[in-house]
Amino acid sequence: MNQGKYNFTFLFFYVTIITLLFSCQKQKKNYYESIAFNDIKLSSSPKPGSWRYNHDEHFQTFEDFQKLKKIKPQPGKNIIYLQPIGTFDELQKKEIILTKEYLKTYYQLETKILPALPNTIFPENVRRISNEGNEQILAEYVLDSILIKRKPKDAVVLMGITEKDLFPKPEWNYVFGLASYEKGVGVTSMYRFASGHLSDSNFNESFLRLIKISSHEIGHMFGISHCLNANCVMNGTNTLTETDYHLARACSLCQRKLNSSIHYDPKKRLFELKNFFEKQHLNTELSLSQQDLNLVQ
């Protein structure tokens, strides 16, 4: 083989290898691009009565989120606290303990439960009787007059959990939860999650609703708006039917937003969520976690 032909062959081989390497790099997806394959897109025509049907909301892009002034964990202020308010039976106490474990995994932040406060903390002027005949508490009062005053110094956010029904304003029938972006406090009501009575038979149904609403409200505290990208825990909800339809899984966009503020290993988080769902026999969420893992392993 003459020298010119040898040099040409070597050069061709070298260029081919470099091209293949660059091609592979271009094709390699990051974590969020990978799991986006499992995002379930929302219908372009929301059903009458649904949250999206009744609310014309802005699509919060990742760039919008980045520009937003928001709460972030920082040294000495990086613990999620749960504040139970009310009188809880043993199953409800179990729900709260498991919710603490879930939120620790979901947000990859230390999570603690504060001693419960009694229902006597609610004055008469923030109570009302609903059209259904049950007592309700004004949610704004819980945020502004109870939680913000009791937020620990090392708390990044404080989530109240009450067994009382909540209403956000006089014209609303009820609300599952409410949160403040600026103050880092929120409240979730367990009242409607067990259809009146929590038992062993409906525990998982109630618990799944509780972790969806709790993680949703804390997501708001971290600056994430209602999701319009896919079926996601950050979707707005009007009813339990809508809550049940929405996934506990955050979509790829909302996970990317969260991870930009809370720096954790997304694969580690996903693996821990899978283990949690498996242990609690939450089979739909377990399946979705496994599907995501299959894409990133």
pLDDT for residue 206: 98
Is residue 79 within 8 Å of 243, Cβ to Cβ? no
What mean pLDDT comes out for the span 203-226?
97
What mean pLDDT comes out for the span 13-34?
62
Q: Residues 105-117: pLDDT tens digits?
A: 999 999 999 999 9
Residue 5 has pLDDT above 50, yes or no: no
Of the pLDDT bands very low, low, confident and very high (cuts 50, 70, 90), residue 139 is: very high
Residue 20 has pLDDT above 50, yes or no: no
pLDDT for residue 25: 47
Mean pLDDT, the chain, integer: 92
What mean pLDDT comes out for the span 274-296?
98
Listed in sequence order, the residues at least 6 apart from 16 whose beta carbon sits closer than 8 Å to its beta carbon are: none
Q: Which of 155, 124, 150 is nearest to 137 (CA)?
A: 124
CATH 3.30.70.3340 fits 30-296, yes or no: no
- Going from N- to C-terminal start, the domains of the chain cover 30-296
pLDDT for residue 12: 47
- How many percent of the chain have pLDDT more than 90? 86
What mean pLDDT comes out for the span 157-184?
94
Is residue 252 within 8 Å of 292, Cβ to Cβ? no
pLDDT for residue 2: 55
pLDDT for residue 133: 92
For the chain, state the CA radius of gyration.
23
What mean pLDDT comes out for the span 277-287?
98
| Amino acid residing at 290 | Q
Is 268 buried (19+), middle (13-18) or exposed (0-12) by CB count in 10 A?
exposed
What mean pLDDT comes out for the span 168-196?
92
Residue 21 has pLDDT above 70, yes or no: no
User: Using CA atoms, how far apart are residues 65 and 136, in angstroms rounded to an integer?
Assistant: 34
Residue positions annotated with a catalytic role:
217
Query: Terminus-to-terminus CA distance in the chain, angstroms?
Result: 46
Of the pLDDT bands very low, low, confident and very high (cuts 50, 70, 90), residue 196 is: confident
pLDDT for residue 3: 53
Task: Name residue 112's beta-bridge partners.
Answer: 81
Of the pLDDT bands very low, low, confident and very high (cuts 50, 70, 90), residue 267 is: very high
**Alpha-carbon distances, residue 256 vs 70, 86, 161, 165, 267 (angstroms):** 15, 35, 27, 33, 13
Q: How many CB atoms are closer than 10 A to CB 95?
A: 24
Per the structure block, which two tokens stand in for 6? 């040898």
Q: Is 284 left (phi over 0), alpha (psi -120 to 50) or beta?
A: alpha
Listed in sequence order, the residues at least 6 apart from 28 whose beta carbon sits closer than 8 Å to its beta carbon are: none
Of the pLDDT bands very low, low, confident and very high (cuts 50, 70, 90), residue 28 is: confident
Q: Residues 236-266: pLDDT tens digits?
A: 999 999 999 999 999 999 999 999 999 999 9
- How many percent of the chain have pLDDT more than 70? 91
Q: Is 186 left (phi over 0), alpha (psi -120 to 50) or beta?
A: beta
Residue 8 has pLDDT above 50, yes or no: no
